Amino acid sequence: MVTLAAIFPPTQPPEQIGAVAAAAESAGLEQLWIWEDCFMESGIATATAMLATTSRITVGIGLLPVPLRNVALTAMELATLSRLFPRRLIAGVGHGVLDWMGQAGARAESPMTLLREYTAALYALLHGETVTTRGRYVNLDAVALDWPPAVVPPLLVGGIKPRTVSLAGELADGVIIPGGVSPEEVRTSVGQLHGQRSTGRGPADVVVFISTPAGRPAAAVAATVSEYAAAGATHVAVNAAEDDADLTRFVTFLAQKVSPLLS
């Protein structure tokens, strides 16, 4: 069965994080998803606030833009969160918006090379390995976490283009597919993901972000979620309409009205 989730977008003020997370947990929602956009809210800080405010809900970070973050620091932050809140974190990384990366002085000439080096190193660090690597972008000298996560969070890669999806299948635990993608495109990506799945990695997660207009009936939202589930999505995270500022109402709507309609 597909996991239904809500999205807390970084366009929402940080002051709303606690109330929305508490409302989602109280209503019975399983997951909240966030992401790190320039120059809004930190993904790690937002996830920490949500996890600390709640006791059960899972928080997915989809995604952290790798050009902005040293891989050792990201590993340290994710490991700390995972030890504090075991089994309640899903981590996602990706290219980031290239123009924003340029604004921050962090744009890579080869985003795919960076993402490949970064994902491989981050996966190894989170799994307690000592990593020495000399890459074009990622350089580590016998780096290991003193406090690796006791329960390693799933590490996903965000993207929709074939090379990125294939990388997710090869090096990570799944893929995060951005909004505006049809179920048929998701089905194609799922095939690419599984075609590159490395032996021993286990089942891959497929997280799909979608948006829904304000006031859309629960049955219509559930039908859309089911379409993506039939295309191979294991998690569907729903973003409220841009003019729908009441996210506490929206997360309750998803949990209590939409979720019961999913089979």
Residue 52, domain member (yes or no): yes
Tell me: cis bond preceding 8? Omega within 30 of 0 counts.
no
pLDDT (0 to 100) of residue 201: 72
Contact 137, 118 (CB under 8 A): yes
pLDDT (0 to 100) of residue 198: 65
Residue 201, domain member (yes or no): no
Residue 186, domain member (yes or no): no
pLDDT (0 to 100) of residue 244: 75
pLDDT (0 to 100) of residue 199: 61
Sign of CA dihedral 145, 146, 152, 153: negative
Residue 138, domain member (yes or no): yes
Residue 196, domain member (yes or no): no
Find the domain containing 229 and state its range.
3-156+211-261
Residue 62, domain member (yes or no): yes
Contact 42, 69 (CB under 8 A): no
CATH of the domain at 43: 3.20.20.30
Residue 205, domain member (yes or no): no
Q: How many domains does the chain have?
A: 1
Residue 83, domain member (yes or no): yes
Block means of pLDDT (10 residues each) for the chain, 263 residues, are 95 95 97 95 97 97 96 98 98 94 94 98 98 98 98 97 95 94 96 80 91 92 97 97 85 97 86
